[in-house]
Amino acid sequence: MVYLRDQGEIEKIRAAAKLVARTLEMLAREVKPGVTTADLDRLADAFIREHGGRPAFRGYRGFPASICASVNDEVVHGVPGRRVLREGDIVGVDVGVEMEGYYGDAARTLPVGAIAKTTAHLLDVTQEALMEGIRRAQAGRRVGDVSNAIQTCAERNGFSVVRALVGHGIGREMHEEPQVPNYGPPDRGPRLMAGQVLAIEPMLNMGGPEVVTQPDGWTVVTKDGGLSAHFEHTVVVGPNGPEVLSVVDRE
């Protein structure tokens, strides 16, 4: 079942997604050497609640925290804890918010202090791949057009795309249909329609695309130990093209 949202619903998703974006912006200021991932989780949890949202990840299928924080070779779903961030690390922070029954979801991978040039390139390309995917999220196109744009951008730059995890529809639930893979041929998959809302979220690896889940049952890491980056936006397929909802208003 694919849902088409009316303007009132889109505004509710926008409110949730905007709070996600503000939370990510706050976290970007707080990430520095010496901070633990549990510190980031506490800050995000308080910030979301202060602004009228509910951290959507906490308790989701039993997830024990309000954000995911994935360091270096951790791809996604890292559980915040006592790990101390060090100069040169990267940390992927993934935030979900529910407000008035609607969801927003977005993620960024943040540098901890100064990072290596090759690492910065991975972050830049992952963000670029996300924007390439978003550009294809147009009514009349297909999910595979989004997927293919992401994969093409990643591989053109020498990185690999994680296959085991995908983007998704979002709205009244955090995860709705359709699945939005980050790889595959163009002009395949479900056709996109105006009013659909998608969470598009490429995960790019420095080495191979294979991933494994850690014994904690959550943390997904690269099999070869290489670095991984993750960027995500909540996007509405508008009548006049895609619009990113997980952004902060600029004055």
44 touches Mg ion (CB under 5 A): no
105 contacts Mg ion (rule: CB under 5 A): yes
Min CB(184)–Mg ion separation in Å: 18
DSSP states of 157-196:
TT-EE--S--EEE-SSSSSEEEEE-SSS-SS-SPBP-TT-
Compute the least distance from the CB of residue 96 to Mg ion, in Å. Answer: 7
Cβ neighbour number for residue 6 with a 10 Å cutoff: 8
Q: How far is the CB of 175 from Mg ion (least distance, A)?
A: 7
Question: Please, are residues 3 and 12 in contact by the beta-carbon 8 Å criterion?
Answer: no
Positions of E strands within 72-146: 74-76, 90-99, 102-111
Shortest Å, Cβ 79 to Mg ion: 16
Out of 134, 199, 221, 245, point to the residue binding Mg ion (CB under 5 A). 199
Least separation in angstroms between CB 151 and Mg ion? 18
Q: Which is nearer to Mg ion, 35 or 57 (CB)?
A: 57
> 80 or 96, CB closer to Mg ion?
96
Smaller CB separation from Mg ion, 35 or 200: 200
Nearer residue to Mg ion within complex by CB, 27 or 199: 199
Phi-psi group of 115: left, alpha or beta (phi > 0 → left; psi -120 to 50 → alpha; rest → beta):
beta
Query: Maximum Cα–Cα distance for the chain, whole Å?
Result: 48
- State which residue, 115 or 129, has the beta carbon closest to Mg ion: 129
Find tokens 């995890």 and name the residue: 165
Please give the sequence-ordered ranges of beta strands (E in DSSP) within 53-100, or none if there are none. 54-55, 67-71, 74-76, 90-99
Q: Which is nearer to Mg ion, 44 or 199 (CB)?
A: 199
Total residues at interface with Mg ion (CB under 5 A): 2
Q: Which two tokens stand for residue 157?
A: 């730059």
Is residue 176 involved in binding Mg ion (CB under 5 A)? no
Assess contact for 69 and 61: CB atoms under 8 A: no
What residues make contact with Mg ion under the rule CB under 5 A? 105, 199
